[in-house]
Amino acid sequence: MGIAEFFQHLTNGLTLGGIYALIALGYTMVYGILKFINFAHGDVLMVGSYAGLFIYNALRGDASLGPWVLIAFFLAMLASMVISALLGVTIERVAYKPLRKATRLAPLLSAIGVSFILSNSAAWAFGTNSKKFHYPFDNTPFVFKGVVITPHQILILSVSLVMMVILKIFVDRTRMGKAMRATSLDQQTAMLMGINVDRVISLTFSIGSALAAVGGILIALDFKVYATMGTMTGLKAFVAAVFGGIGNITGAMVGGILLGILETFGVAIFGIPSGLKDTIAFGVLIIILLVKPAGLLGKDEKEKV
């Protein structure tokens, strides 16, 4: 494999991984605080993508490509982030909050129920055909030192980078971020220190869902919008979160990007048929669980009684 080819796969892997990372953040943040897998996360992503698509189409109208279309795209993305955040918070309030003191299994089952309601309602309301999300710019690829790069890939890389930096600063530097970290360490102590845990949880869900909406829209530009788009993407993003160390925000970013790279290289180098591409993520999950269950950046925690 030549150097150009290597960088080609690396670019493709990075863009795919950037999206996984965005979505993985939602899983990992919720897991960090509530210790449960939010199965509905992938479906929030799907609703966010539909919202983004409709708003974008309405704003764009018949306009041809130009600055306005790009602005419309970002406005639609912002609006869909808000809508997804509200949806995420509502789901938490209705379906998870009453179960906080229930058995470990209850919120999981409830989450699966929510996921099923969302994806099937979407199929009912918007039909089962996938809808194309038109590029808001001319997506003609250009060649940079032998590596083919599309403007879409640049969009993905820059948007996911910006989002992750903002999130990292928010969690590490602000008061609310500190409250989030405290809640994830020990909910009861955090409560005793005067932290409004309910608000922190709502915030966590809204941030995670908003990021999922961004990931959904970015992925929809290439793969269209459909009612079950959240299932496989969500599953892989979760694997990315486990890969990096579930509950660890930096871990989710690293895990997402590594998983993206592994997938592209798996198909390119090891000749895994692309029909079985989805299996790679699953293989990674099994290997990680066998070798280092805490994930790359996770710490082994002994449960105390």
Partner 1 sequence: MLNFFLLILIYSGIYALMALGQNVITGYGGMLSLTQAGFFAIGSYATAILSTRFGFSFWATLPPAALLSALCGLLIGLPTLRLKGDYLAIATLGFGEIVRNVLNNWDSLTRGPMGIQKIPMPTIFGFVINPYTKYSFLVMVVIFVAIAYVLFQRLARSRMGRALAAIREDEIAAEAMGINITKYKVYAFILGASVAGIAGSLQAVFTLSVTPGTYTFMVSVMVLCMVVLGGMGNFKASILGAFIIQLISYFPQLTGLTSVIPPQFKQILFGLILVVMMIWRPQGLLGREEIRYGNEEGEKA
Give the residue among 302, 272, 287, 222 at the shortest CA–CA distance from 19: 222
- State the DSSP code for 191: H
Query: Distances in Å between the alpha carbon of 213 and those of 18, 77, 265, 281?
Result: 14, 8, 27, 21
Span interacting with partner 1, options 5-13, 62-70, 116-124, 218-226, rule CB under 8 A: 116-124
Options 65, 70, 75, 108; binder of partner 1; rule CB under 8 A: 108
- The answer to whether 37 contacts partner 1 (rule: CB under 8 A) is yes
Options 79, 99, 163, 200; binder of partner 1; rule CB under 8 A: 99
- State the DSSP code for 277: T
- Of 156 and 284, the one with the shorter C-beta distance to partner 1 is 284
Options 67, 194, 271, 273; binder of partner 1; rule CB under 8 A: 273
- The answer to whether 232 contacts partner 1 (rule: CB under 8 A) is yes
Q: How far apart are CA 82 and CA 39, in angstroms?
A: 20
Span interacting with partner 1, options 62-70, 120-128, 164-172, 177-185, rule CB under 8 A: 120-128
- Of 114 and 253, the one with the shorter C-beta distance to partner 1 is 114
| Token pair 């959240």 in the structure block, residue | 230
Span interacting with partner 1, options 117-125, 142-150, 217-225, 257-265, rule CB under 8 A: 117-125
- The answer to whether 272 contacts partner 1 (rule: CB under 8 A) is no
- Of 165 and 232, the one with the shorter C-beta distance to partner 1 is 232
Options 19, 26, 32, 36; binder of partner 1; rule CB under 8 A: 36
Torsion of CA 112, 237, 23, 144, to 10 degrees: -150
Asked if 159 contacts 14 with a C-beta cutoff of 8 angstroms, the reply is no
Least Å distance, CB 71 to partner 1, is 36
Give the residue among 164, 64, 42, 194 at the shortest CA–CA distance from 111: 42
Asked if 33 contacts 184 with a C-beta cutoff of 8 angstroms, the reply is yes
- The answer to whether 90 contacts partner 1 (rule: CB under 8 A) is no
Tokens of 141: 């690829």
Asked if 182 contacts 171 with a C-beta cutoff of 8 angstroms, the reply is no
Span interacting with partner 1, options 50-58, 132-140, 255-263, 269-277, rule CB under 8 A: 269-277
CA-based torsion, 253, 256, 258, 264: positive or negative: negative
Length of the chain: 305
Q: Which residues pair with 131 in a beta bridge?
A: 225
- The answer to whether 105 contacts partner 1 (rule: CB under 8 A) is yes
Write the interaction track for partner 1 spanning residues 157-196; mark x where CB under 8 A is met and - where it is not.
----------------------------------------
Query: Distances in Å between the alpha carbon of 290 and those of 27, 40, 143, 251, 281?
Result: 21, 26, 41, 18, 14
Least Å distance, CB 4 to partner 1, is 31
- The answer to whether 63 contacts partner 1 (rule: CB under 8 A) is no
Options 161, 174, 279, 292; binder of partner 1; rule CB under 8 A: 279
Q: How far apart are CA 183 and CA 170, in angstroms?
A: 15
List residues near partner 1 by CB under 8 A.
35-37, 39, 94-95, 98-99, 102-110, 112-118, 120-121, 123-124, 231-232, 235, 238-239, 242, 246, 273, 275-276, 278-279, 281-282, 285-286, 289-290, 293, 303, 305
